[in-house]
Chains A and B, each alone.
Chain A
Amino acid sequence: MIIASVANVLVWAIWVLAAFACLGTGVAVISFSNPFYSALSLIGNLASLAVMYLLLSAEFVAAAQVLVYAGAVMVMFLFVTAYLGGRVDAPWAGGPSWQAVAAIAASAALFVEVVVVIGLKTSGRLSHEHETDAAFGRPYEIGRLFLTDHLLAFEITSIVLLIAAVGGVILGSHSREAPTAGVQQ
């Protein structure tokens, strides 16, 4: 019992830490004016998310998150940021003035709605967690599901990745003609 309650407290503590880290880094991503700092914040966000996945018994996904997302995607981001020289811009400036207000309103509305939906509609229905078996979250289970129930998704995903690779090559290749002086709006 004591072990169970201590474990519970531990879980809660880790959860709170991870959640706040997640939220904080999320806000940081959109707040920093230096894109380098934003990218680093996102890496932190991904890490906290991986912790939360672990809490949810999704071990494989957590590992994939760290390896793929943080390890590959964010590295790409950092490369490009380094290449571009990290131009700094004032985050809140530019565009029609009403846009900023409307943007904040829209996203606030979205958040409120999400909370309301979760709170109102699902109260009572989302409190009976199902028991998981031992294979839940294991690579074996993921692999089995990919190759049986979700084979089509698996194949299509591979095609999407192929297309992205090809697109990346094309976009990144040097154009034959000299780059134009840019059409400034």
Chain B
Amino acid sequence: MPAAWICLLSPLAAALLITVAGNRISRRGAGYVATLSVAVSFAAAVVSFVALLGEEPDERYHPSTLWSWLTAGQLDFGLRIVVDPLSVFMMLVVSGVGALIVAYSIGYMDGDDEERRYFAYMALFVFSMLMLVQGGNLLILLVGWGLVGLSSYLLIGFWHERPAAIAAAKKAFVMNAIGDATMALALFLLIQRAGSLNFETVFSQADSIGGSWTMNLIALGLLGGAVAKSAQLPLHTWLPDAMEGPTPVSALIHAATMVTAGVYLIVRTAPLFEQAPRVLELSAGLGAITLILAGLIALVQTDIKRVIAYSTMSQIGYMFLAAGLGAYANAMFHLMTHAFFKALLFMAAGLVIHGLAGEQDVRRMGGLRSLMPYTFGAFTVGALALAGMPPFSGFFSKDSILAAALDHGWYGEVLWVAGMIGTFLTGLYAFRLLFLVFWGEPSPFVREHLMVGSHEHAREGHLMHDGHETHEHAGEGPFSMTATVGALTLLAAVGGFIQFAGVWTAVSDWLEPVAPPLVEATGMQELVSSVVAVLLGLAGIGVAWLLYGARTSEVPRLGWAQRLLEHKFYFDAAYDAAFYRPAVFAATAIGRFVERPLVFGSVRELSQGMRGLGLETRRLQTGLVRTYALAIAASLAVVMIVFVAVR
């Protein structure tokens, strides 16, 4: 399918072009090239989609190999992509939302000195993500997996003069590497048992690959990778720190696409996971715990982006919950709607940050409703979608997940309760954010610093460079930013209508051939779940109103709870003590006791010994001819004795 190859390779071509062109291309031009390439990707994805539509559901599976990449004995791995409903679904989401966000970046990153590098990285990321979702065998998927990790590292640490950004990038990369390692181990097992990594080969033999131990190990390995990439417990601590990157990066990578790769993996390798049902339940459980934990932590965050980051973590918990229960289509549907409204929230937050010249602390904000109405509207739509309020997109996707949970027995009911608690928390923290930022009277900070219309300002995240830019735009931000936000607002608002549980099920039908669901909710369960969820969401919004909107009540002061949440349940401290400190200690100890004496010491000893030897040998060089002649004569005498004795 050439369209799929165009979709995959177009962003790569853009990245290479921008890299090679260097200074010959203008900064704005790099942005246009990148956006255009992702738009081309989207167009190609649409073409593939339309092509698939025209076929029978059973025939919608087209692998395509460019060439044989790795051959070793009987193993043969090709550069293989596959076009099937699941991959096309992801292609559309990734390239569509990606195009919008890259376009947004043109306005957001305008004036940055290293804009070209940014767009090259963004194009590289889109290529990597597409490779991940289009991969036709697990090896290509792993390649894409690693490349998105790399792009994430490069983009988080984009403003590399900031030590916080560098540290965050490293943290993200290392934690992702843990997941990569477990995934690689799982793939090794698969290669050993199944002899191939092609999807159809592996999945068709899924029940005969090995016993429960093998399947559990494989599934655990894959789950490890998914957990690391999607920032679920216990490998979640890197995501909030990743907010050091530019806001569009947070929107694209850490909300809409990369962090959802874990969900995609589980859905894609569902036949393998189904052979290890305990691991599936484990992933659902992890998702549930994460969603509650993240929701709680989000309640006390003061950085606008970090609230949204924890919200992402929480929502992906929902997706893991769904995938773990076997409600694959629901998980993917929520993935799609989440991409819309989460990207929207990030981009709207970006508009706020842009307007406030880089300020991200919500305690200084307030009252932007009257000053930035467009942004306020967009943000409200996003928040409502996030909280699952009808008729916005989140409502359709989230509730079907919770309803499906009821079909799984007592464990599913526990998860259902967890999900409902999460819904309450979601409404609470989302609207806490909304009210803190937008409601009430404009705060003193805002009055002083807000700049709409034409203005000059320093960039977000940068320390004050000399050279502020002046740029003109009517309204709250440059056109590229406001237009794309508007597009996403629309999607977040109406995007959910393609599937309404039980009534019309476009998504489920579409994904049925690839990942048939294990659980199916009845109409009554759907109704109950929806009603309870909406009520809880409204309750959350109401509490947020009371605390932060109308300010009629005070936030309850529970010192211990506050501290627990502010320290993010002490996960960072625990990892620091358990892994980082011992590693540093071991490294210093080895350096002092092993490396310095053995390596340096021995080298130095050696060199000094050589020196000494040289000094001694120097004594032979008297420069006197007679001594040399004497040496010859003496050795001759000795040699003669030897000859005489031997012969």
Asked if the two chains touch in their complex, CB atoms less than 8 Å apart, one says: yes
Considering only CB atoms, which chain B residue lies closest to A114 in the complex?
B640
- With contacts A102-B634, A107-B633 taken as known, whether A117 is within 8 angstroms of B640 at the C-beta atoms is yes
Among the listed A102, A107, A113, which residue makes an inter-chain contact with B640, where contact means beta carbons less than 8 Å apart? A113
- With contacts A113-B644, A116-B644, A117-B644 taken as known, whether A106 is within 8 angstroms of B637 at the C-beta atoms is yes
Chain B interface secondary structure, helix, strand, loop or mixed? helix
**Are B641 and A113 interface neighbours, CB within 8 A?**
yes
- Asked whether A182 is an interface residue with its Cβ less than 8 Å from the other chain, the reply is no
The docked-state distance in angstroms from the alpha carbon of A185 to that of B630 is 21
- With contacts A95-B626, A99-B627, A103-B630 taken as known, whether A110 is within 8 angstroms of B644 at the C-beta atoms is no
- Asked whether B624 is an interface residue with its Cβ less than 8 Å from the other chain, the reply is yes
- Separation in Å of the A97 CB from the closest CB of chain B? 12
Among the listed A102, A113, A117, A121, which residue makes an inter-chain contact with B630, where contact means beta carbons less than 8 Å apart? A102
Which residues of the other chain, B, contact A95 by a CB distance below 8 angstroms? Answer: 624, 626-627
The docked-state distance in angstroms from the alpha carbon of A169 to that of B150 is 76
Which residues of the other chain, A, contact B623 by a CB distance below 8 angstroms? Answer: 185
- Asked whether A68 is an interface residue with its Cβ less than 8 Å from the other chain, the reply is no
- With contacts A95-B626, A99-B627, A121-B647 taken as known, whether A106 is within 8 angstroms of B640 at the C-beta atoms is no
- Separation in Å of the B377 CB from the closest CB of chain A? 96
Q: Which of A113-156 contact B (CB under 8 A)?
A: 113, 116-117, 120-121
Which residues of the other chain, A, contact B644 by a CB distance below 8 angstroms? Answer: 113, 116-117, 120-121
Among the listed B624, B634, B641, which residue makes an inter-chain contact with A106, where contact means beta carbons less than 8 Å apart? B634
- Can you offer 28 A-B residue contacts whose CB atoms are under 8 A? A95-B624, A95-B626, A95-B627, A99-B626, A102-B630, A102-B634, A103-B626, A103-B630, A103-B633, A106-B630, A106-B633, A106-B634, A106-B637, A107-B633, A109-B637, A110-B636, A110-B637, A110-B640, A113-B637, A113-B640, A113-B644, A116-B644, A117-B640, A117-B644, A120-B644, A121-B644, A121-B647, A185-B623
Q: Which of B631-647 contact A (CB under 8 A)?
A: 633-634, 636-637, 640-641, 644, 647
Which residues of the other chain, B, contact A110 by a CB distance below 8 angstroms? Answer: 633, 636-637, 640
**Are B640 and A99 interface neighbours, CB within 8 A?**
no
Q: Which of B589-639 contact A (CB under 8 A)?
A: 623-624, 626-627, 630, 633-634, 636-637
Which residues of the other chain, B, contact A102 by a CB distance below 8 angstroms? Answer: 630, 634
The docked-state distance in angstroms from the alpha carbon of A96 to that of B631 is 14
3 smallest beta-carbon distances between A and B, as pairs: A106-B633, A109-B637, A113-B640
The docked-state distance in angstroms from the alpha carbon of A106 to that of B626 is 13
Q: For the A-B complex with A102-B634, A121-B647 known, give 11 more contacts whose Cβ atoms are closer than 8 Å.
A: A95-B624, A95-B626, A96-B627, A99-B627, A106-B634, A107-B633, A109-B637, A113-B637, A113-B641, A113-B644, A121-B644
Binary per-residue interface labels of chain A (62-95) against chain B in the complex, 1 for a CB within 8 Å, 0 otherwise: 0000000000000000000000000000000001
Considering only CB atoms, which chain B residue lies closest to A94 in the complex?
B626
- Separation in Å of the A82 CB from the closest CB of chain B? 24
Which residues of the other chain, B, contact A109 by a CB distance below 8 angstroms? Answer: 637
The docked-state distance in angstroms from the alpha carbon of A103 to that of B626 is 9
Which residues of the other chain, B, contact A107 by a CB distance below 8 angstroms? Answer: 633
Which residues of the other chain, B, contact A117 by a CB distance below 8 angstroms? Answer: 640, 644
Considering only CB atoms, which chain A residue lies closest to B647 in the complex?
A121
Q: Which of B548-567 contact A (CB under 8 A)?
A: none
Considering only CB atoms, which chain B residue lies closest to A185 in the complex?
B623
Which residues of the other chain, A, contact B633 by a CB distance below 8 angstroms? Answer: 103, 106-107, 110
**Are B641 and A99 interface neighbours, CB within 8 A?**
no
- Separation in Å of the B632 CB from the closest CB of chain A? 9
The docked-state distance in angstroms from the alpha carbon of A117 to that of B630 is 22
Which residues of the other chain, A, contact B636 by a CB distance below 8 angstroms? Answer: 110
Which residues of the other chain, B, contact A121 by a CB distance below 8 angstroms? Answer: 644, 647
The docked-state distance in angstroms from the alpha carbon of A96 to that of B624 is 10
- Separation in Å of the A182 CB from the closest CB of chain B? 16
Q: Which of A139-185 contact B (CB under 8 A)?
A: 185
- Separation in Å of the A94 CB from the closest CB of chain B? 9
- Separation in Å of the A107 CB from the closest CB of chain B? 7
The docked-state distance in angstroms from the alpha carbon of A109 to that of B636 is 10
Which residues of the other chain, A, contact B647 by a CB distance below 8 angstroms? Answer: 121
Considering only CB atoms, which chain A residue lies closest to B623 in the complex?
A185
The docked-state distance in angstroms from the alpha carbon of A99 to that of B622 is 12
- With contacts A117-B644, A121-B647 taken as known, whether A99 is within 8 angstroms of B637 at the C-beta atoms is no
The docked-state distance in angstroms from the alpha carbon of A99 to that of B626 is 8
- Separation in Å of the A93 CB from the closest CB of chain B? 12
Q: Which of B121-168 contact A (CB under 8 A)?
A: none
- Separation in Å of the A98 CB from the closest CB of chain B? 10
Binary per-residue interface labels of chain B (387-417) against chain A in the complex, 1 for a CB within 8 Å, 0 otherwise: 0000000000000000000000000000000
- Separation in Å of the B630 CB from the closest CB of chain A? 6
The docked-state distance in angstroms from the alpha carbon of A121 to that of B623 is 39
Which residues of the other chain, A, contact B637 by a CB distance below 8 angstroms? Answer: 106, 109-110, 113
- Separation in Å of the A101 CB from the closest CB of chain B? 10
The docked-state distance in angstroms from the alpha carbon of A121 to that of B626 is 32
The docked-state distance in angstroms from the alpha carbon of A120 to that of B626 is 32
- Separation in Å of the B642 CB from the closest CB of chain A? 11
Considering only CB atoms, which chain B residue lies closest to A111 in the complex?
B637
Considering only CB atoms, which chain B residue lies closest to A95 in the complex?
B626
Which residues of the other chain, A, contact B640 by a CB distance below 8 angstroms? Answer: 110, 113, 117
Binary per-residue interface labels of chain B (337-350) against chain A in the complex, 1 for a CB within 8 Å, 0 otherwise: 00000000000000
The docked-state distance in angstroms from the alpha carbon of A113 to that of B637 is 8
The docked-state distance in angstroms from the alpha carbon of A99 to that of B634 is 11
- Separation in Å of the B86 CB from the closest CB of chain A? 88
The docked-state distance in angstroms from the alpha carbon of A95 to that of B641 is 28
The docked-state distance in angstroms from the alpha carbon of A107 to that of B630 is 9
The docked-state distance in angstroms from the alpha carbon of A144 to that of B627 is 43
Which residues of the other chain, A, contact B627 by a CB distance below 8 angstroms? Answer: 95-96, 99
- Separation in Å of the B646 CB from the closest CB of chain A? 12
Considering only CB atoms, which chain A residue lies closest to B622 in the complex?
A96
The docked-state distance in angstroms from the alpha carbon of A99 to that of B629 is 11
Which residues of the other chain, B, contact A96 by a CB distance below 8 angstroms? Answer: 627
The docked-state distance in angstroms from the alpha carbon of A103 to that of B636 is 12
Which residues of the other chain, B, contact A113 by a CB distance below 8 angstroms? Answer: 637, 640-641, 644
The docked-state distance in angstroms from the alpha carbon of A163 to that of B313 is 91
In this complex, the member of A106, A110, A120 whose beta carbon has the largest number of chain B beta carbons within 10 angstroms is A106
Binary per-residue interface labels of chain B (55-71) against chain A in the complex, 1 for a CB within 8 Å, 0 otherwise: 00000000000000000
The docked-state distance in angstroms from the alpha carbon of A22 to that of B626 is 25
Considering only CB atoms, which chain A residue lies closest to B633 in the complex?
A106
Binary per-residue interface labels of chain B (235-255) against chain A in the complex, 1 for a CB within 8 Å, 0 otherwise: 000000000000000000000
- Separation in Å of the B37 CB from the closest CB of chain A? 75
Q: Which of A42-64 contact B (CB under 8 A)?
A: none
- Separation in Å of the B41 CB from the closest CB of chain A? 80
- Separation in Å of the B239 CB from the closest CB of chain A? 78
The docked-state distance in angstroms from the alpha carbon of A43 to that of B640 is 31
- Separation in Å of the A108 CB from the closest CB of chain B? 9
The docked-state distance in angstroms from the alpha carbon of A113 to that of B644 is 9
Which residues of the other chain, B, contact A103 by a CB distance below 8 angstroms? Answer: 626, 630, 633
The docked-state distance in angstroms from the alpha carbon of A5 to that of B86 is 126
Considering only CB atoms, which chain A residue lies closest to B636 in the complex?
A110
The docked-state distance in angstroms from the alpha carbon of A182 to that of B542 is 107
Which residues of the other chain, A, contact B630 by a CB distance below 8 angstroms? Answer: 99, 102-103, 106
The docked-state distance in angstroms from the alpha carbon of A14 to that of B114 is 106
Which residues of the other chain, B, contact A116 by a CB distance below 8 angstroms? Answer: 644
The docked-state distance in angstroms from the alpha carbon of A107 to that of B636 is 10
Binary per-residue interface labels of chain B (422-453) against chain A in the complex, 1 for a CB within 8 Å, 0 otherwise: 00000000000000000000000000000000
- Separation in Å of the B315 CB from the closest CB of chain A? 89
- Separation in Å of the A123 CB from the closest CB of chain B? 14
The docked-state distance in angstroms from the alpha carbon of A120 to that of B633 is 22
